[in-house]
Every structure is written in C-alpha cells, then in structure tokens.
Amino acid sequence: MQKTENRKVENRGNHLREMPRRSFLKTVAGGLALAGVAAAGLPMSGLLSGCAGPGSFDGWRITQYGNPEGNQSMFYTIEDRAGRLVLIDGGYTIDTDQMRQIIGRFKNHVTAWIITHPHPDHVGPFNEIMADPGKIQVDAVITIKVNGDRYRGTAQDYGRIEEWERMEEVLAGLSQVHYLKEDDELDLLGLHLKVLHAWNEETDALEVNLCNNGSLMFTLTGKEETFLFCADVENETEDYVIERHGKELERVDYVQTGHHGNWGLTTAFYDHLQRVGTAFVDAPLWLTDTIDGPYDCWKLIEYFEGRGVELYSFRTTPNVILLR
C-alpha cells in the first residue's frame, strides 16, 4: 500500500463489521535451511538495548519500526541470542539511512532479507542497499516471483511498477536469491518458516490488487509460539488461505495485520486466529485515527480491542516482542 487520496474504495465494501467509532488506538508500549527450494549454507542481536551482539534472552526478538507522523510502511527485524539478524521489508527509500544504521549494529551482516512484495513502502531500502552494499553482507534474499506481464497490465496508480522493475534489476545481479511459493518451509535462525501464500495462479486471475494479494504470507514458529506475517494480502485472497491453511491459523499467537490494517483482510479472516493475543498494525496516526474519511483501519482496531488483543502500531515504535 502507498498513501494516496486517488484510490477508489467503493468496491471494498463494508467488509469489516460495523462497531462504535473511537478516535484513538489502544497501544502498549543457525543458518538457513530451505525445504522445497534450493538450500543455501548460511552463516544475527540486541535492538532492545541498542547494541549488537549475543543476547541473554531466550527466544527470538522481533521489532516493528515505523514513523508515527509519516506514511504507512512495513519493516521488521528478527534477532536471535547468537547475534544474528533477519530483515523483513524495510519501508521507503527515505528509510535507507536508518536501515544501514541498524545493519551496522550487527557488524554489517544480515543472515536473510525477506521481501514480501515490491511496493515502494516495502522495498525502498532493499533496492538502495543491494545496488550498492558497501561493507554490508546479505547471505540470502527471500522473496516472491512476480508475474511481470500481469502486474504491468493491472497495476494501479499507487503500484509504482518502477520499484519492482528496479528490484528485478537488483535481483538479477545476485546469486543468493530464493523465490518462495506456497507450502515451502525453511529453518530461519531456529524458527520454522511456513509459506501460507505467495503469488500464484489465483493471483494472476485477479483484476486488481495483484501485488498486494501476491505478497508473501508466512508463519514463524518458535518452541512455543507462532507469528503470522500477512504482508499486504487483502480480502480477495483470504478465502483461499482459510480453506487451505485454516488449522494453521488457529495456532497463531501474534499477527501482523494485512495491508497495514486498512482495506485488507476482513474480521472473518481474523476470527480464525483463535488464540491470537497481539496484533501489529503497520500504520501511522493519520491512518489509525481517521474515522470520517475513506480508511477503515479504525474498525479493525475496534475489532481487536473487543477481543482483548494487545495492539502495536507506529504510535509507539519501535515495538519489541519476544517470540518463544
């Protein structure tokens, strides 16, 4: 998703249940072994304290980043107690300096960089850094395979296919790229990654929102808990995911809400997350707090609040949880 006032929303419908309006968001402040794709032998640290190096925590530290006064974006880091780093997306090009600083805290070494889809609010720093990495070493790049013909033919004004085209140029010069598809599984810093959805024939059949719905949706499972990353997947794809992966959804403890919590997955999808206790909304204040405009993020917030789910947004970033 990219901030725009031009996107038509009439066809989105009232896919979120109507509920009382409120104007605020409740917030609270290894190697890589791939199954189903080519395996790569790959050689991650302490953002909570602001310094790199092996941690004393037991689990995996996951951090959400974002600017409360800026635009929507998606950027997460994952670190293990051995001091290894995994990146998920990264935001806009303007966020590149911040990304370089974070990577620098980990001795300029990234075990894996996951790109969920090539929209500008996700792939900006990746395109900048991987085109000119300098001292930065990235062992593996994990992403989706975009159907270029369908994307070019259906991209809306906010799609900015030039970001995807630039990403394709960058990827063409790399040897450590792994394209994931549905049901692929891999070991990532000791976490089990399972792909629930990636660009496929169902995506090709859509007329709109192909890049969002073709996003990499995946779970990360530790010893006790599971985190679901929905990227920008929207409601056109949710029935497919529910039908094929409904049982896995029931075991989710943390969720990154689809499409920044706005115009995304419906509450019917989130109903399947029976044990979820924490939800992340990758959105700034103008999006989470707007109740009279075209955005419906506030409705999803009300839904999760009604379930007693803790909510994290850009209001309090960086937000850190420990996945066990």
The confidence score (pLDDT) of residue 53 equals 59
- Decide if 220 contacts 227 (C-beta within 8 A): yes
Residue 50 lies in a domain: yes
Flag whether pLDDT at 287 surpasses 60. Answer: yes
Angle at 294 between CA 21 and CA 284, to 5 degrees: 75
Residues 129-157: what's their mean pLDDT?
93
Q: Which domain holds residue 235?
A: 32-323
Flag whether pLDDT at 206 surpasses 70. Answer: yes
E strand intervals along 97-151: 109-110, 112-114, 137-138, 141-143
The confidence score (pLDDT) of residue 16 equals 39
Residue 10 lies in a domain: no
pLDDT tens readout for residues 70-113? 999 999 999 999 999 999 999 999 999 999 999 999 999 999 99
Residues 162-166: what's their mean pLDDT?
94
Residues 216-243: what's their mean pLDDT?
98
Residue 243 lies in a domain: yes
Residues in the chain: 324
Q: How confident is the model at residue 154 (pLDDT cuts 50, 70, 90)?
A: confident
pLDDT tens readout for residues 110-126? 999 999 999 999 999 99
Residues 211-236: what's their mean pLDDT?
98
The confidence score (pLDDT) of residue 48 equals 36
Residues 168-180: what's their mean pLDDT?
97
The confidence score (pLDDT) of residue 156 equals 65
Residue 73 lies in a domain: yes
Residue 196 lies in a domain: yes
Residue 268 CA to residue 143 CA, distance in Å, equals 27
The confidence score (pLDDT) of residue 54 equals 67
Per the model's pLDDT, the better-predicted residue between 141 and 154 turns out to be 141
The confidence score (pLDDT) of residue 31 equals 52
Residue 167 CA to residue 131 CA, distance in Å, equals 9
Count other Cβ atoms within 10 Å, centred on residue 253: 19
83 Cβ contact partners less than 8 Å away, ≥ 6 residues apart: 44, 45, 46, 52, 53, 54, 55, 106
Residues 192-220: what's their mean pLDDT?
97
Can you give the CATH number for the domain in which 262 is found? Answer: 3.60.15.10
Residue 197's Cβ-side half-sphere holds a number of Cα atoms within 13 Å equal to 33
pLDDT tens readout for residues 234-249? 999 999 999 999 999 9
Residue 13 lies in a domain: no
Residue 313 CA to residue 44 CA, distance in Å, equals 25
Percent of the chain with pLDDT over 90: 77
The confidence score (pLDDT) of residue 266 equals 97
34 forms bridges with which residues in the sheet?
186
Residues 150-162: what's their mean pLDDT?
78
Residues 284-305: what's their mean pLDDT?
94
Residue 317 lies in a domain: yes
> Total domain count for the chain?
1
Q: pTM for this structure?
A: 0.86
**Tokens 């896995």 sit at which residue?**
248
Residue 167 CA to residue 320 CA, distance in Å, equals 29
Residues 297-307: what's their mean pLDDT?
97
178 forms bridges with which residues in the sheet?
142
The pLDDT mean for the chain works out to: 86
Residue 91 lies in a domain: yes
Residue 316 is classified by DSSP as G
Flag whether pLDDT at 14 surpasses 90. Answer: no
The confidence score (pLDDT) of residue 24 equals 28
